[in-house]
Amino acid sequence: MPDLSDPRAVLREQQIELPSWAFGNSGTRFKVFAQQGVPRDPFEKIADAAQVHRFTGVAPKVSLHIPWDLVDDFGKLAQYAAEQGVSIGVINSNTFQDDDYRLGSVCHPDPAVRRKAIDHLKACLRVMDATGSTHLKLWFADGLNYPGQDHLTDRQRRLGEALSELYSELGEDQRILLEYKLFEPAFYATDVPDWGTAYAHTLKLGPKASVVVDTGHHAPHTNIEFIVAFLVAEGKLGAFDFNSRFYADDDLMVGAADPFQLFRIMHEIVEADAVTPASGILFMLDQCHNIEPKIQAQIRSVLNVQEATAKALLVDRQALSEAQRGGDVLGANAILMDAYNTDVRPMLADLRADMGLDPDPVGAFRRSGYFDKVAAERIGGAAAGWGA
């Protein structure tokens, strides 16, 4: 572990994983807004993601989404990623887009549909084998719209059985990350609605299963840093999906709505000495950029996480501990606020210069000409994205 008293050393080791789907066309439930230069296949998505790493130096992994990122040869895709200076990160499953999943996937009342969903999850394990990925992320859209639609307890039993079967097939270095979501697309009951449900299932599964905290998947005013602190202490925080929200799962750039919340979350991560990859906790972005330029938005999100982390690293932890033990309420809060109100951008600019990077990643990307180049090249074919 790096010395926390040297923020620059910690920040140099921090890694922030990018989502392949952030580079495709996306939108609301009502409309997808097409943009120029959007990738047409997973190879072009990885090329775009590599640009984010090129200009930030801390985004060396790209999450895939199956089947959105299906290719004939995943070994070839992993090789291409390496040639671009990045690697394949978390594999994301998709059990929510087929017609068969209208009433759920692993919690569906029909055993045939449950089998189809479990077989898909096992196929994702084979993608992990081919790409060198070590983590499979599970998000289930399963739930109910109406009271009486299905048996709540039976659905939890089905979920547990599916997870147990998948867990039994994990390789030695493979892990499950279980994500939760408060609501949507189900509105009466969601089968994995909160961190407690996810924690209970992963605790029962064993040490190869842990919880994903998506910062957009909570009720308003939820104390997310408490959830983070609890899961870290229990050894069950596996990853973050960083985004930002004003109401629910908006998938905006992380820190856009409440940068102070992001700082508070990262303060708990620093307190647990869990910033760098050695902690085993993954820091991932989960965003869809509907109206803003996609590569620039991903760069900006990476910078926002870096800035929040840098501020958290500046907290005088010894003074804070003394104030807390002494019951100095205002003094403790002031120590935290002093760090939050520090402008860390000059420090991060200097760090980038020391790493051989441009101190202004967004400006450097704009000047690179990459966007104009791919916008001219990516003519014809079907742009990646999802329809509405």
**How is 197-231 classified by DSSP, letter by letter?**
HHHHHHHHH-TTEEEEEETTSS-TT--HHHHHHHH
> With 80 as the cut, is the pLDDT of residue 29 above it?
no
Number of domain units in the chain: 1
Q: 255-293 pLDDT, tens per residue?
A: 999 999 999 999 999 999 999 999 999 999 999 999 999
Question: What is the mean predicted confidence (pLDDT) over 70-96?
Answer: 98
Contact 38, 25 (CB under 8 A): yes
Residue 5: pLDDT band with limits 50, 70, 90: confident
Contact 67, 96 (CB under 8 A): no
Token pair, residue 185, equals 């697309």
Residue 152: which H helix or E strand, with range?
A: helix 152-167
Does residue 368 belong to any structural domain of this protein?
Answer: no
> With 90 as the cut, is the pLDDT of residue 246 above it?
no
Widest CA span in the chain: 67
Please report, for the domain that includes residue 306, its CATH number. Answer: 3.20.20.150
pLDDT of residue 388: 44
> With 80 as the cut, is the pLDDT of residue 245 above it?
yes
Helix (H, G, I), strand (E, B) or coil at 32: strand
Does residue 328 belong to any structural domain of this protein?
Answer: no
pLDDT of residue 1: 55
pLDDT of residue 383: 87
Distance CA 289, CA 274 (A): 28
Does residue 96 belong to any structural domain of this protein?
Answer: yes
Does residue 213 belong to any structural domain of this protein?
Answer: yes
Taking 3-state DSSP, the helix, strand and coil percentages for the chain, each rounded to the nearest 5, stand at 45, 15, 40
CA dihedral 272, 275, 280, 282 (to 10 degrees): 120
Instruction: Collect all residues with Cβ–Cβ distance below 8 Å to 47 and sequence separation of at least 6.
Output: 39, 84, 374
CA torsion sign for 180, 185, 186, 187 is: positive
Per the prediction, the chain carries an average pLDDT of: 96
- The strand ranges marked E within the chain are 18-19, 26-27, 32-33, 61-65, 87-92, 135-138, 143-144, 175-179, 189-190, 209-214, 237-242, 282-285
> With 90 as the cut, is the pLDDT of residue 369 above it?
yes
> With 60 as the cut, is the pLDDT of residue 224 above it?
yes
Structural domain including 183 reads: 13-313
Residue 21: pLDDT band with limits 50, 70, 90: very high
Facing residues of 57 across strands? none
Does residue 334 belong to any structural domain of this protein?
Answer: no
Facing residues of 64 across strands? 91
Does residue 370 belong to any structural domain of this protein?
Answer: no
Distance CA 127, CA 131 (A): 6
Does residue 342 belong to any structural domain of this protein?
Answer: no
Distance CA 247, CA 268 (A): 24
Token pair, residue 312, equals 């958290």
Does residue 378 belong to any structural domain of this protein?
Answer: no
> With 80 as the cut, is the pLDDT of residue 47 above it?
yes
Give the HSE-up count for residue 295: Cα atoms under 13 Å, Cβ half-sphere. 30
